[in-house]
Amino acid sequence: MFACTSKDVDAKVVGSALVVSFSGQQPKVWRADMSGLATATLELRDAGGKSSVILNKSGQPEEVIATYPDRESAAHAHKMITRAMLRGDVQAGGGHQGNGMIWRVVKWGIAIVFLLFIIDTASTAVRNYMAGGGNPGPARPTMDGTEMGRNPYAKPGEPVPADQLFGGK
């Protein structure tokens, strides 16, 4: 939620709506759906010694949001409402405002998973290093599951008595 508050005007984008509250002599609240404001214009109009903030939507009648006795107060209200509309992302409309939060959660989720992967990889490497007493050295070549040079009696494909294979008596 974004808010612009000053003097007697409070303009906010809440969910998919622009909400403006006026706390002057005649307090009132004005609300409009943001998706309907994508092509609207906000005008400041003087008439009969008073100034009004007017919302003009294409194809619809004008809507007087607020009327002030002086132009300065009306200009201030116009500025606060415009600022809230612009910061509320009028172009995206009401249905897209939650997507920013979804993408933020997705990005943080990916970052956390990546961080956990890095921590797991580092801890596995440290555990392996500590268990092996340092660098294990080069691997010895093997031939058909037996280590070369370890048992002269073991030849691939020939049966060998267990006593000879395991060094028994």
151 found inside a domain: no
Could you tell me which residue, 7 or 30, shows the higher pLDDT? 30
Pairing of the two strands 142-143 and 146-147: antiparallel
- Same domain, yes or no, for 88 and 75? yes
116 found inside a domain: yes
- Same domain, yes or no, for 6 and 85? yes
Quick: pLDDT tens for 69-86.
888 888 888 888 888 888
- Same domain, yes or no, for 43 and 72? yes
- Same domain, yes or no, for 7 and 90? yes
Quick: pLDDT tens for 18-60.
888 888 767 888 888 877 777 788 888 888 889 888 888 888 8
Q: What is the CATH number of the domain that holds 87?
A: 2.30.29
Domain housing 127: 98-135
Q: Among residues of the chain, what percentage have pLDDT more than 70?
A: 72
In terms of average pLDDT, the best of 11-25, 48-62, 112-126, 153-167 is 112-126
Helix (H, G, I), strand (E, B) or coil at 100: helix
Q: Are 78 and 65 in contact (CB under 8 A)?
A: no
Rounded CA-CA distance 20/125 in Å is 59
Q: Report in angstroms the alpha-carbon separations of 111 from 117, 118, 125.
A: 10, 11, 21
**Statement: residue 137 has pLDDT above 50:** yes
Give the total number of structural domains in the chain: 2
Quick: pLDDT tens for 43-54.
888 888 898 888
What predicted TM-score, i.e. pTM, was given to this entire model? 0.47
Q: Are 70 and 63 in contact (CB under 8 A)?
A: no
